[in-house]
Structure 1
Amino acid sequence: MFANWKSAVYEYAHRRNRLEIDGEAGELASMVRDDRFVRKLEGRLRRLQASRKARRAEPLRSETGLKIANADHADREAVVELEFRRSTEYGQLGQTFREERMERERVTVTKNGNQWIITGVEPVMGERRSVSAPVPPFSLAESEDEAAMDARLPSVPYLNYRVLPSVTVEPMHRHASYDRAKARRYAEKWWNGTNPQYMQFEVDCTNFVSQCLFAGGAPMNYTGKRESGWWYQGKDGSRELWSFSWAVAHSLQSYLSSSKGGLRSEQVDSPHRLAIGDVICYDWDGNGRFQHNTIVTGFDAVGMPLVSAHTTDSHARYWDYRDSYAWTPNTRYRFFHIADYF
């Protein structure tokens, strides 16, 4: 079908781009011999089309940039790591919106006779942690006395001076407001990049949300213990100096559910009640284990949240993630409205 593996990959990317508009996975059948992936993609596209119909959102155009991140190829097979940057424009009730995301796939291309065909596609689903990965422990505080102290002194942050090099003196106790516009600007700047002043994690969604909250003025609660507080220092040699709640999805959800001082939030029952800079947590399997977090950075024409996230880097993505390979019918959400003052 194709004279070399690169031609097969580029044609695959071209057809995948068209799918974002017409939603017909069948046109891949002639070049992709991986029935399991095609079925998975068909399910994702059906959910996407149903979501668009319910929202009265009409896709207008799609652009896909392709980068070959890595290629391990021999005479008759190539295993290629692909990075797609997708930009999809859609209309809704007279308004136009643009959603962007970065997606990764591992594609196997095999030579059959004189032609190359795609024999395997594996989406890299960073939005879902491995089911065997342990959930780190988390506790809000060591004792009732510590919790009471946090409530009395809600505005004392631990500051990472490498992130804020202009700060040379630790601040006095003060009350601070949450600057939602700053949190959004930070998310818009770094949704598809890494701030070099922070570590990057393989599963980076919660680290990114924490950075956005901190950029908006949320004070760190430094305890020096990874299982408590909400704080970040980076690394000291091989030692990782950050709380689980800073970078682990389930732990941040636990912290937001229970914190009484510093960074606080109210759990609300509907995405309609969220504002810019609020947080959504995702339990893909409905088993109480949260595996992904996003931050609200906009709203569509009917007032539903659009979010930004890392891992599958996304900007202005519709909040429910029904177009994600990680989504299941058992998916449950928690919605956190961040306090206006700390």
Structure 2
Amino acid sequence: MGVYSMDQTEGELLLIYFIPESETAIAKNAEADLANDITVNRNYAVKQEASAIHPLATVKYDRLAARDYANKYTSEVTSSLGYDTSKWNPNYAWHTESGGVDCANYVSQAIYAGGIPKDSTWKPESTAWVNTGRNISNGLKQYMVDTKGYFYKTTKGGTSAGGFISAVNYSHVMFIVANDGVTMLFSAHTNDRLKASFANFSSSSYEFYYVNSSYL
């Protein structure tokens, strides 16, 4: 770079002169600046390329894995008790109080097995995990549909294995394990059901939810 020179004569103001670099020095410094800019831009490009190759993880829902989980951890119970805990997953708490209120806990487990991640709101034993949301505003339905948008409300014909059913007139959810447009099958807890037919149920008394296509 150039230098500053000061010159002052008696009774005169101090004058400051800027003496520029030689043309050779200017050219050399310009080359150095250009090389630095190229290096910075190249490093940025490498980072961008790496980001494109290794994108941030996204939520993906394996509805068939969720279906398989649902069918594995329940059974068809016809006794007055309504459930058989020997078929339930021992790694989770069981809600057999009040005659059995494990339906949302079971559906949450299946959804989690399909790949929907837990967080501070939806996790085992949280309200959003174990409550259907029918009589409160922060249950399973509100979390999955209203808060996160993982699922959306649809019709019976718009669902497939991996979706869930919620009763309108009472607090109960069931997991859809098959639907070919003619026959819908569901599995559930309390009462425990395994690949049970929905044929004898009135569709108007239930709401149907299926996973948003963005997560498939």
**TM-score, normalized by length of structure 1?**
0.38
Structure 1 position 332, deviation (Å): 2.5
Pick the structure with more strand per residue. Answer: 1
Matches within 5 A, 1:1-342: 174-192=57-75, 193-202=87-96, 203-222=101-120, 229-232=121-124, 242-250=125-133, 251-260=139-148, 264-268=150-154, 270-284=155-169, 290-299=170-179, 302-319=181-198, 322=201, 332-340=205-213, 341=215
Q: SS where residue 57 of structure 2 aligns?
A: coil
CA shift in 2, pair 1:271/1:331, >3 Å: closer
Separation in 2 of the partners of 1:199 and 1:332? 29
Structure 1 position 321, deviation (Å): 5.7
Does structure 1 retain, via aligned residues, the 8 Å contact 2:160–2:210?
A: yes
Does structure 1 retain, via aligned residues, the 8 Å contact 2:128–2:143?
A: yes
Q: SS where residue 249 of structure 1 aligns?
A: coil
CA shift in 2, pair 1:308/1:330, >3 Å: closer
Structure 1 position 331, deviation (Å): 6.5
How many pairs were matched up? 141
Does structure 1 retain, via aligned residues, the 8 Å contact 2:106–2:189?
A: yes
Structure 1 position 334, deviation (Å): 1.4
CA shift in 2, pair 1:219/1:306, >3 Å: same
CA shift in 2, pair 1:321/1:249, >3 Å: farther
Name stretches of at least 5 consecutive residues in structure 1 with no aligned partner.
Answer: 1-171, 223-228, 233-241, 285-289, 323-328
CA shift in 2, pair 1:206/1:321, >3 Å: farther
**4+ residue runs of structure 1 moved beyond 6 angstroms?**
none
Does structure 2 retain, via aligned residues, the 8 Å contact 1:279–1:338?
A: no
More deviation in 248-257 or 329-338? 329-338
Q: SS where residue 165 of structure 2 aligns?
A: strand
Map Cα deviations across residues 147-170 of structure 1 (whole Å, 9 max, x no partner): xxxxxxxxxxxxxxxxxxxxxxxx
Structure 1 position 260, deviation (Å): 3.0
Name stretches of at least 5 consecutive residues in structure 2 with no aligned partner.
Answer: 1-54, 76-86, 134-138
Give the letter for the 1:198 counterpart: Y
**TM-score, normalized by length of structure 2?**
0.59
Q: SS where residue 71 of structure 2 aligns?
A: helix
